[in-house]
């Protein structure tokens, strides 16, 4: 069992499953792409923390937190609740709402100073990279998953999530790709059109048909086509929230990293 005490300057790529962290000060520490499943914290101080990610079955002082988070998010963002309806009609309604949100945000970015689309705040994806990631998600979950396509599926300039970055070239992703923002917008709008056309034509039987998840997922997990489209729309909502958060910081004059 690993034990960590005292000062540690940096840990990257380490397997710390089952580690014991004792009498350590982690104030101001940053955790990025870290699995904290099943952690136990006793006698901790947690003030001023900012947690963003997949939070499930989390108890704080004996209280199950996840339902409270879900309720608050749906209260703040009524359009998020649309994700709860995974019927074809529900998915269409969600897509309509999210397209309007994104189009308004694209217009907002167009009114901001030149180069804003390439600004990264706190090492997060820039606006352009976010759109490229959404293309990647649509290619994986709509084209590969719901539609079952296997030829010419992935846009080479798509941006994968960090956990799949090493494997991305195997499906045709070019890590060195540097498309113009105009090309990104064109491809991105084309993928939204594909989602819209799929939902317009899909029958309930097609929506419930088995689908193979994209290569970065556990292939033993069962999916149906409607679930795959639901993942696309979940990504749309989550990344819109991240993008607008960072645009607000840029507008407020937060010091960006590029």
The least confident of 61-65, 154-158, 245-249 is 61-65
- Residue tagged 């970015």 (tokens): 109
- Residue tagged 């001023």 (tokens): 48
* Tokens representing residue 235 in the block: 């990504």
Does residue 7 carry a pLDDT above 80?
A: no
Backbone angles phi, psi at 236, to 5 degrees: -60, -45
What is the average pLDDT score of the chain?
88
Residues 105-133 have pLDDT tens digits of: 999 999 999 999 999 999 899 999 999 99
Does residue 256 carry a pLDDT above 80?
A: no
d(CA 173, CA 168): 5
Highest mean pLDDT among 16-25, 43-52, 72-81, 167-176: 167-176
- Residue tagged 């070239």 (tokens): 169
Backbone angles phi, psi at 223, to 5 degrees: -130, 155
Residue with more model confidence, 12 or 41: 41
DSSP string for residues in 212-240: PPPTTS-TTS-EEHHHHHHHHHHHHHHHH
Confidence of residue 186 (pLDDT cuts 50, 70, 90): very high
**pLDDT value for 257:** 52
Residues 16-42 have pLDDT tens digits of: 777 777 767 777 777 766 777 777 777
d(CA 203, CA 160): 30
HSE-CB at 230 with a 13 A cutoff on CA atoms is 18
């Amino acid at each position: 069992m690993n034990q960590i005490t005292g000062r540690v300057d940096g840990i990257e790529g380490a397997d710390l499953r089952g580690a014991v962290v004792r009498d350590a000060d982690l104030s101001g520490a940053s955790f990025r792409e870290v699995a904290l499943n099943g952690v136990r914290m006793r006698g901790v101080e947690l003030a001023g923390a900012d947690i963003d990610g997949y939070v499930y079955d989390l108890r704080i002082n004996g209280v199950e937190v996840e339902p409270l988070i879900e309720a608050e998010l749906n209260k703040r963002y009524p359009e998020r609740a649309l994700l709860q309806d995974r019927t074809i009609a529900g998915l269409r309604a969600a897509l309509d709402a999210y397209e309007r949100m994104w189009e308004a945000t694209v217009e907002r970015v167009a009114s901001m100073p030149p180069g804003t689309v390439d600004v990264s705040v706190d090492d997060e994806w820039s606006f352009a990279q976010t759109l490229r990631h959404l293309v990647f998600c649509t290619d994986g979950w709509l084209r590969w998953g719901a539609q079952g396509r296997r030829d010419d599926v992935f846009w080479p300039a798509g941006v994968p999530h960090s956990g799949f970055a090493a494997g991305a070239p195997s499906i045709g992703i070019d890590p060195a790709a540097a498309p113009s923002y105009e090309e990104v917008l064109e491809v991105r709008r084309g993928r939204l059109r594909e989602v819209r056309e799929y939902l317009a034509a899909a029958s309930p039987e097609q929506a419930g048909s088995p689908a193979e998840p994209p290569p970065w997922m556990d292939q033993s997990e069962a999916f149906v086509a409607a679930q795959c489209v639901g993942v696309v729309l979940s990504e749309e909502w989550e990344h819109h929230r991240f993008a607008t958060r960072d645009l607000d910081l840029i507008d407020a004059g937060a010091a960006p990293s590029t």
